[in-house]
Amino acid sequence: MAVIPVAIAGAPYDVRIETGLLERAGEHCRPFLRKDRVAIVTDENVAASWRQKVEASFSAVGVASDWLILPAGEGTKSWEQLARVVDWLLAQEVERKDNIIALGGGVIGDLTGFAASMVKRGCGFIQIPTTLLAQVDSSVGGKTAINTAAGKNLVGAFHQPALVLADPLALDTLPLRDTRAGYAEVIKYGLIDDAPFFEWCEANGAKLLAGDSSARETAIAKSVAAKARIVAADEKETAGIRALLNLGHTFGHALEAETGFSDRLLHGEGVGLGMVLAARFSARQGLMSGQDAARIGAHIGGIGLPASIKALGLDCNGRRLAGHMLHDKKMDAGTLPFLLMRGIGETFLAKDVDLNEVAAFLDDEMTR
């Protein structure tokens, strides 16, 4: 089993990664539970695949589990479902020192973590992420949120979990498209500051997507270790370090907004294409070599993620896409920080990017 410590000052915890961990969830959580009952929040799909096994693992260590099973999908990250989770946790008489459990993908983790941050002014929680995206990104680092009419993830809190359990076997019950989208976040860690890991991705990405458990464990452990290092250095994203995790997200967010945050472009797919665009824009600005940018595009496209805007068939221009960026939550006093690259593994935060140049670049990309 890989155990990755996340050394957040005042709230350190471990991420444990192992194939088959879901069936041993009870045993791993037991030392974090003060009572012989635990509250578990999940969604319908995850419950159908895993409830029986997870429930049995808690029974085996003398813990009864109470389940709140929510509708699956992004729509669940809402005020309405947040109120439902909070009311349910209060009805379960959850106390501040208890740890509740979020079992699911990013939607369940973000929503349950946010509910935990407010119940009794903050109770504990354990993340058991069941999608690749949640395992390598959203379950680690304590960002929790819901979506509102004003946009995605605009209301939330930093609230760190007490433990994270990641089981690569959970990916077997998911559509390949979801795992492929989550894999974009794995590649991201190579591009941020670890060129050898990007090379590892080039050599092993296809194997991982085909279900190889050793490749999955390595990818999750390397990604979590990278994220742990970054969030320990800059938990609240104030020092320009955690912002590196947004590589590909500004271009990606604009494309997600244009496609209505729908199944037309999943978040991870937007991030993958966003990283290709960040690389190509960096090359156009003379910051990185065209060869490196082409290599990034070749890997992302090669494993089946969208790698060009044209493939999305959008009916808009670059100015409209750049306009979506103005509503990005990373806007800072009227300027939008961009993550650009000097090479593979050399991402940096650029604060002086001209949105007119971005719009012109995007116009050219639409026809490429």
Which spans of this chain sit near ligand GLY (rule: CB under 6 A)? 137, 141, 143, 242, 245
Shortest reach from residue 231's CB to ligand GLY, in Å: 7
Phi/psi for 296 (5° steps) reads: -65, -45
Amino acid occupying residue 145: A
Shortest reach from residue 26's CB to ligand GLY, in Å: 28
226 near 188, Cβ under 8 Å?
no
Q: What share of the chain is helix, strand, coil (3-state, %, to 5)?
A: 55, 15, 30
Of 47 and 164, the one with the shorter C-beta distance to ligand GLY is 164
Of 141 and 337, the one with the shorter C-beta distance to ligand GLY is 141
Scanning the structure block, which residue is given the tokens 């805007």? Answer: 309
Shortest reach from residue 138's CB to ligand GLY, in Å: 6
Residue 97 burial (10 A CB sphere; 0-12, 13-18, 19+): exposed
Among 48, 347, 313, 50, CA closest to 193: 347
Shortest reach from residue 152's CB to ligand GLY, in Å: 12
How many CB atoms neighbour CB 95 within 10 A?
12
The Cα–Cα gap between 166 and 267 comes to 20
Of 39 and 134, the one with the shorter C-beta distance to ligand GLY is 134
Phi/psi for 186 (5° steps) reads: -70, -50
98 near 124, Cβ under 8 Å?
yes
What the block records as the tokens of 25 is 């969830």
SS3 204: helix
Shortest reach from residue 112's CB to ligand GLY, in Å: 16
Shortest reach from residue 242's CB to ligand GLY, in Å: 5
What the block records as the tokens of 102 is 């979020």
Shortest reach from residue 40's CB to ligand GLY, in Å: 23
77 near 147, Cβ under 8 Å?
yes
Of 202 and 237, the one with the shorter C-beta distance to ligand GLY is 237
Active-site residue numbers? 121, 143, 185, 227, 237, 242, 246, 249, 253, 267
In the bound complex, which residue of the shown chain has the CB atom lying closest to ligand GLY? 245
Show the CA angle centred on residue 288, arms to residues 285 and 290, nearest 5°: 90
Of 58 and 251, the one with the shorter C-beta distance to ligand GLY is 251
How many CB atoms neighbour CB 310 within 10 A?
12
The Cα–Cα gap between 220 and 214 comes to 10
Of 67 and 158, the one with the shorter C-beta distance to ligand GLY is 158
Element spanning 14, H or E: strand 13-17
Of 245 and 339, the one with the shorter C-beta distance to ligand GLY is 245
β-pairing, 37-43 vs 99-104, is: parallel
